[in-house]
Amino acid sequence: MLYQLSYFTIYFFGNPQCVIWDCKGREKFYFCKTYFEKVLKKYKIVCLHTIFQTTIFVSFSFICKLCLFKCLVVDIRFSNINNQTSKDEHQISNKNMQILQQILFVLALGGAGFLIANRIGIIKKSIQLGRAEDRYDNPSQRWATMFRIALGQKKMFDKPVVGIMHFVIYVGFVLINVEVLEIILDGILGTHRLFAPILGDFYRYLINFFEFLAFGVLVVCVIFLTRRNITKVQRLQPTRYRELNGFPVIDANRILWAEIILMTALLTMNAADSVLQDRGNEHYAQVGTFAFSGFLKPLFTSFSDTSLIAYERIAWWLHILGILAFGLYVTYSKHLHIFLAFPNTYFSNLEPKGEMHNMPDVTKEVQIILGMAQPEANAPTEIARFGAKDVKDLTWKNLMDAYSCTECGRCTAACPASMTGKLLSPRKIMMDTRDRLEIVGANMAANGGNFVDDGKSLYGDHILSEELRACTTCNACVQECPINISPLDIILQMRRYQIMEESDAPGSWNAMFSNLENNQAPWKFSQGDRFNWAEGVK
């Protein structure tokens, strides 16, 4: 004779009154008589009614795992002798477990929050290293630009297929994060699906919608990985563009894999949750099956309750820890664009593309020479710097551009200099600027906020003279950039330095410069002869 004991129920939920084998798919533990009698010493049988009544479960027989005899199944109700004590103990241990989880969650959240805030502080300080530039005028036009370019992804749709796929990731990211709010609150309060009772039926629609997006994000990430690594889109290939070698390629792949793992965790977590709901587990609110995770349920139906709960919890932790880690990681990655694309487009250049500004110090100097202005009493005797040698000489907007660049290479793909095999790649200009800025930021962080000269600079150590010279100032890179970055602006400022301070120019350029200075024209004729060409022209 075989007896059956719902061992799992006793030890995990501490509720001996519920210790009824319900034959509805819960975990079953089978014991032969000898073993059961041993176990029985710990329990007081309160009701053996199923043995004597017709509800006896003799519906099937099987081989006992322990005695290997063919045994009969019966259902026995029993209660723990130390019923109340055991119940209390289990309740306390469950509560302790819950509190431990909450503490761990708050620690993880606080730790990640601290690290992310620290990184944001460093990035903000690094951007503020740049020269002042007024980009606060005309707010209505700025908002409109931001709505059109960043929020509306206008330039992304210049390449419609990538545009649509990116749109799925973008919307998915923004909206799925609403669910993260619930996950965070659940983690802090020790609840499960906190919003379900508040939102009622709408909750199910909402989660279904999030699942739809999660599935979309998953598919798009797989396609993005494919186009990078299998079909090999030219502008993303490190073999073609040297600036992509090393970290940039790893970074791009890493983030796409991370998103795949996060979305898989989300969908399988929901599937495990649904199976637990079906089994009437009291901790899992009855919110129903969801559209996409519903397809994954068969993967979990053979799992025991214990394994399901463990899986659901692991997926939950993986999802939220993954998001926190992602939040920190993006501050080191090109994926910082997911936040910076918005302010970066707000502060777009609203003036005509490629327009160069006079240097106020030089203008003033010339005006003084021409008697058009008077020297200021306390004016510095020397101009700080002509053009830009290092990141600190660029404007704060150039530095924000560098942090916002997605490394998509659309600028480089459109650049005539790059196309014709010159050393210049506008994407590299942005990446070099960011790399140098990171070095300067780390240097300052390590030296109490002051930059200690490391004998290096953006000019020469990162961006070479040859790259700067190759630019035709055609503005194609500026036109192509989906987040209104201007690599050209950096190139022009560095060229100013190159020419005015380093006098680093080919002989023909130097001849042209002196002609401009002396004749106000690029040719070597005196001003008086400038209109000679028109003689005889009627």
Q: Which is nearer to ligand SF4, 276 or 414 (CB)?
A: 414
CB atoms within 10 A of CB 21: 22
Rounded to the nearest whole angstrom, what is the least distance from the CB of residue 520 to ligand SF4 in the complex? 26
Residue 422: left (phi > 0), alpha (psi -120 to 50), or beta? Answer: beta
Q: Phi, psi (5° rounding) for residue 3?
A: -110, 155
Cross-strand pairs, 79: 44
End-to-end Cα, the chain, rounded Å = 124
Q: Does 406 bind ligand HEM (CB under 6 A)?
A: yes
Pairwise CA distance, residues 271 & 289, whole Å: 8
The footprint of ligand SF4 on residues 456-495 (CB under 6 A) is 471-477, 480-481, 483, 485, 487-488, 491
Sequence-ordered strand ranges (E) for 269-415: none
User: Does residue 98 sit in helix, strand or coil?
Assistant: helix
Nearer Cβ to ligand HEM, position 385 or 427?
Answer: 427
Residue 511 CA to residue 360 CA, distance in Å, equals 25
Q: What angle do CA 174, 176, 179 make, to 5 degrees?
A: 125
- The nearer residue to ligand HEM, 64 or 483, going by C-beta atoms, is 483
Per CB under 6 A, contacts with ligand HEM among 485-524 are none
Q: Which does 127 bind (CB under 5 to 8 A by kind): ligand HEM, ligand SF4, none?
A: none
Nearer residue to ligand HEM within complex by CB, 80 or 418: 418
Q: Mutual orientation of helices 337-346 and 396-404 as an angle, nearest 10°?
A: 140
CB of 143 to ligand SF4, least distance (A): 21
CA atoms within 13 A on the CB side of 75: 17
Residue 49 CB contacts under 8 Å (≥ 6 apart), including other chains: 55, 77
**Of residues 163-202, those binding ligand HEM (CB under 6 A):** 166, 169-170, 173-174
Given a contact cutoff of 8 angstroms between Cβ atoms, the answer to whether 426 and 418 are in contact is: yes
Which of residues 5, 10, 112, 162 is near ligand HEM by CB under 6 A?
Answer: 162
Say which entry of ligand SF4, ligand HEM, none residue 194 contacts (CB below 5 to 8 A, set by partner kind): none
Question: Which of 16, 187, 248, 482 touches ligand HEM (CB under 6 A)?
Answer: 482
Does 478 sit near ligand HEM (CB under 6 A)? no
Q: Which helix (H) or strand (E) holds 276?
A: helix 247-278
Q: Which does 217 bind (CB under 5 to 8 A by kind): ligand SF4, ligand HEM, none?
A: none
Would residue 246 be called left, alpha or beta, if left means φ above 0 and alpha means ψ between -120 and 50 degrees? left
Q: By rule CB under 6 A, what count of residues binds ligand SF4?
A: 29
CA-nearest of 292, 223, 217 to 262 is: 217
Mask for 429-468, x = binds ligand HEM (CB under 6 A): ----------------------------------------
- Spatial distance between the Cα atoms of 504 and 344, rounded to a whole number of angstroms: 32
Pick one of ligand HEM, ligand SF4, none as the site partner of residue 424 (Cβ within 5 to 8 A by kind): ligand SF4
**Helix, strand or coil for residue 30?**
strand
Q: In angstroms, give the least distance from the CB of 488 to ligand SF4.
A: 4
Cα-to-chain-centroid distance, residue 479: 26
Shortest distance in whole angstroms from residue 331 CB to ligand SF4: 17
Backbone phi, psi, residue 243, to 5°: -65, -15
156: DSSP letter = G
User: In this complex, which beta carbon is closest to ligand HEM, that of residue 5 or of residue 156?
Assistant: 156
Among 411, 440, 458, 490, binds ligand SF4 (CB under 6 A): 411
Instruction: Please tell me the distance from the alpha carbon of residue 95 to that of residue 111, in angstroms, as a whole number.
Output: 24
Which residue's entry shows tokens 């830009």?
388
Distance CA 124, CA 122 (A): 5
Minimum CB separation of residue 457 from ligand SF4 in Å reads 20
Closer CB to ligand SF4, 270 or 412, in the complex: 412
What are the tokens at 387?
């053009």
476 is in the binding site of which of ligand SF4, ligand HEM, none (Cβ under 5 to 8 A by kind)? Answer: ligand SF4
Size of the site for ligand HEM (CB under 6 A): 20
> Does 240 help bind ligand HEM (rule: CB under 6 A)?
no
From the CB of 189, what's the least distance to ligand SF4, in Å? 40
Residue 346 binding ligand HEM, by CB under 6 A: no
Candidate residues 213, 417, 440, 499; the one interacting with ligand SF4 per rule CB under 6 A: 417
User: 4 forms bridges with which residues in the sheet?
Assistant: 30
The interface with ligand HEM within residues 138-157 (CB under 6 A) comprises 150, 153, 156
- Residue 406 near ligand SF4 by CB under 6 A: yes
Instruction: Name which of 315 and 341 has its Cβ closer to ligand SF4.
Output: 341
Rg (CA), the chain: 34
Residues near ligand HEM (CB under 6 A): 150, 153, 156, 162, 166, 169-170, 173-174, 224, 228, 252, 255, 337-338, 341, 406, 408, 482-483
Residues near ligand SF4 (CB under 6 A): 405-411, 414-417, 424, 426-427, 430, 471-477, 480-481, 483, 485, 487-488, 491
